[in-house]
A and B are shown apart, each in its own frame.
Chain A
Amino acid sequence: MDGFLSALLLQAGYNTALVTVGSALLGASAGAIGGFVLLRKRSLVSDAISHATLPGLALAFIAMAALGGDGRWLPGLMIGAALSAALGLLALDWLASRTRLPEDAAIGAVLSVFFGAGVVLMTVIQTLPMGRQAGIAGYLLGSTAGMLRSEAEIIALTSALVGLAIFVLRRPFTLVCFDPEYALVRGVNIRAADLAMMALLLAVTVIGLKVAGLVLIVALTIIPPVAARFWTDRPGAMVVIAAALGAAAAWLGAVLSSLARGLPTGALIVLIAFALFLASLLLSPRRGLVAKALQRHRFRGLVQERQGLLALARGAPIYDGATLRRLKARGHVGAEGATTPKGRAAAEAAMRDEARWSLYRRLHPDESVSTPGGLRPLAEILPADIIGELDSRLAVRGVQP
């Protein structure tokens, strides 16, 4: 536990701290760009991009090793991965725009072909008579164990740069995501904006290969934005929350994997991100499942109470058990099934409210559409002068207000 706390608080040595901070910056950038990609409805593209990095990664390793260097040199691997991912993205764009193939089918085709080619190349690497092949496998599931200081610095720096670019482009991105045609008329170059969005997504993917791994980096660009959507109805806030959740997941993942050496960092990050998503899904105050269930329960209660009271007022029998239980619980109906004095008063009030509500709907059909009448007393919803007007009209017709 002491180890965990000191790692969490960046007290477990300079290297671990650097790796943790770098991972968090990566998680923040991934969450932020993923937020925009989600709003553009292209989340799956990040899956295609990440799998398309594998052939480039393997070829870069082979090329660097063949030239007599260290095959695991991170900048070289990143350049190779970026080139092949860009190729995959081009293929995807071409398939989706030039053929009648829908984008999800194009993603499946590109993803599997590039990944297949990459796996073949990885197998070739295993048979080559050169050392240090072991390190390359870490790029599949992510590994921060034994990361070099220079590698952590590269990851932190490039992640911060990507974050800065997202900040600068946030307004055109939002415009293009919400309403591309309007954006176009305002002079936003849609193609350039989409290209920039995909380039930043590609950058995050390539930077994250070492930390999260190419199979799992997609989780960092999809799960935090989806979780963030539960907490806000505003685009800027959603992107910021997605960045915060991504940073938290990556931070914790890096800390945990620094403690238990064999654990792949990417898998830990994904599990933590998923836990954050689950918490959002259940607990978000307005969109969460718990809040929704409570809302439904409360609404059903209002409907049952109103229906029951109207039935009492008309002297009609109540067959629904839940309605009867609710009326009893509120003291409107006694234990033996007879209407109490309190119940009679409430029933009369409900009748009066129904009369007001149906008159209001007739007098103001446009406004009544957005008025939640018919369940709660109208006097709680509308101003007193309108209620007075309704009552005086009802009085003319002989209905007692």
Chain B
Amino acid sequence: MNAPVLMAEAGRRLGADHPESPLAIAGLTVAYGGKPVVVSVDLVTPPGAMLAVIGPNGAGKSTLLKAALGIVPRVSGEVTAFGQPLREARRRIAYVPQRASVDWEFPATVLDVVMMGLYREIGLLRFAGKRHRERAAECLRRVGMQDFADRQIGQLSGGQQQRVFLARALAQGAGLYVMDEPFAGVDAATERAIVEVLKDLNRAGRTILCVHHDLSTVKDYFTHVLIMNVRRIADGPVAAAFTPENLQAAYGGRLAPAQIGGIAAE
């Protein structure tokens, strides 16, 4: 048997080994201009998990998720979603990018953006129907933005923009939600609202992956955690993996011993 066949079999094995996992990553490596930013990270997301990806600035958290979703090219590594190659599972994955990734001057209303979540459903030739608009309005209600449907997106506050992105993801009706720093630069009310929606989704069996910054809320918001700094440091249920030793290993001197002690004591 020759090498390419062996490699194809190896590629299938990740999905075969973890057919239930909404997102399984093996040996994922990403480099920007010859500089490795994510090195050989493995992660098997348990179904129904609410998982935080944490680590210091420049640890490659966003890059890991972007590479897993095919937004950023990877040097090596395998990724499967729900046991299938990514390409075949796309419609089951909802992605919520960082707020800063788009031009908010774009001529679109809040409803227009949420309707983008129904892209596959509406198709190329048809016009959006009443049914689609009602679905979008319902998603806006779930994030408390129903009164803003006709507002141009640039006129929203940062927290409101983040809620619109979440509503767009809800409209898609996915099984896995991948979110890049959903709580960055949002007000306290929005953070509470987003967490409530995510916990509802999670209770309904959806899996959620978030790049997360705030160590003090990890225990309240999440069930699982991946701690990384270019490489994987630890992953698993929060109780097992979110330990002072693992945080020290990831953050090193950048986290004061008192901070780590406080997290352990909680």
Contact = CB atoms under 8 A, between A and B. Distances in A.
Nearest to A184: B71
A177 B116 CA distance: 12
Interface in B103-150: 103, 106-109, 112-113, 116, 119-120, 122, 124-125
Contact of A233 (B66, B87, B152): B152
Interface in A27-69: 39
B124 A171 contact: yes
Contacts of B106: 39, 177-178, 235
A186 B120 contact: yes
Contact of A185 (B71, B152, B160): B71
B102 interface: yes
Contact of A187 (B91, B109, B168, B187): B91
B187 A369 contact: yes
A169 B125 CA distance: 9
Interface size class of B (residues with CB under 8 A): 20 to 34
A322 to B, nearest CB: 29
Contacts of B152: 233
A181 B66 contact: yes
B189 interface: yes
A235 B108 contact: yes
Contacts of B71: 181, 184-185
Contacts of A182: 95, 97, 116, 168
Contact of A366 (B69, B120, B189): B189
A175 interface: yes
A57 B116 CA distance: 41
Interface string B84-109: 00010011010101000111001111
A370 interface: yes
Contacts of B70: 184-185
Nearest to A190: B71
Given A174-B116, A181-B97, A235-B112, A186 B107 contact: no
Contacts of B87: 187
* Chain A facing B: main interface SS: helix
Given A179-B101, A366-B187, A186 B90 contact: yes
Most buried by A among B93, B95, B106, B107: B107
B116 A181 contact: no
A373 to B, nearest CB: 16
A233 B90 contact: no
Given A185-B71, A233-B109, A169 B124 contact: yes
B137 to A, nearest CB: 16
A307 interface: no
B119 A233 contact: no
A287 B220 CA distance: 45
Interface in A340-391: 366-367, 369-370
A185 B93 contact: yes
Contacts of B113: 178
Contacts of B122: 171
B66 A234 contact: no
Contacts of B107: 39, 229, 232-235, 237-238
A366 B97 CA distance: 24
A227 to B, nearest CB: 13
Interface string A174-214: 11011101101111100000000000000000000000000
B188 interface: yes
B66 A178 contact: no
A234 B108 contact: yes
B42 to A, nearest CB: 22
A168 interface: yes
Interface string A231-243: 0111101100000
Contacts of B69: 184-185
Interface string A144-156: 0000000000000
Contact of B108 (A181, A184, A233): A233
A178 B116 contact: yes
Given A233-B108, A234-B108, A178 B102 contact: yes
B248 interface: no
A214 B189 CA distance: 55
Nearest to B113: A178
A229 B152 CA distance: 13
Contacts of B189: 366-367
Most buried by B among A169, A177, A178: A178
Contact of B157 (A171, A187, A369): A369
Contact of B119 (A181, A184, A186): A186
A179 B97 contact: yes
A366 B90 contact: no
Contacts of A179: 97, 101-102, 116
A229 B107 CA distance: 8
Interface string B178-194: 00000000011100000
12 contacts: A172-B124, A178-B108, A181-B66, A185-B70, A185-B71, A186-B120, A187-B120, A233-B108, A235-B107, A235-B112, A237-B107, A366-B187
Given A39-B107, A177-B106, A179-B116, 9 more contacts: A175-B119, A178-B116, A181-B97, A184-B71, A185-B95, A187-B90, A233-B107, A235-B106, A366-B188
Interface of B: 66, 69-71, 87, 90-91, 93, 95, 97, 101-103, 106-109, 112-113, 116, 119-120, 122, 124-125, 152, 157, 160, 168, 187-189
In the A-B complex, list the 6 residue pairs whose CB atoms are closest, starting with the nearest. A366-B189, A185-B95, A233-B152, A187-B90, A179-B102, A181-B71
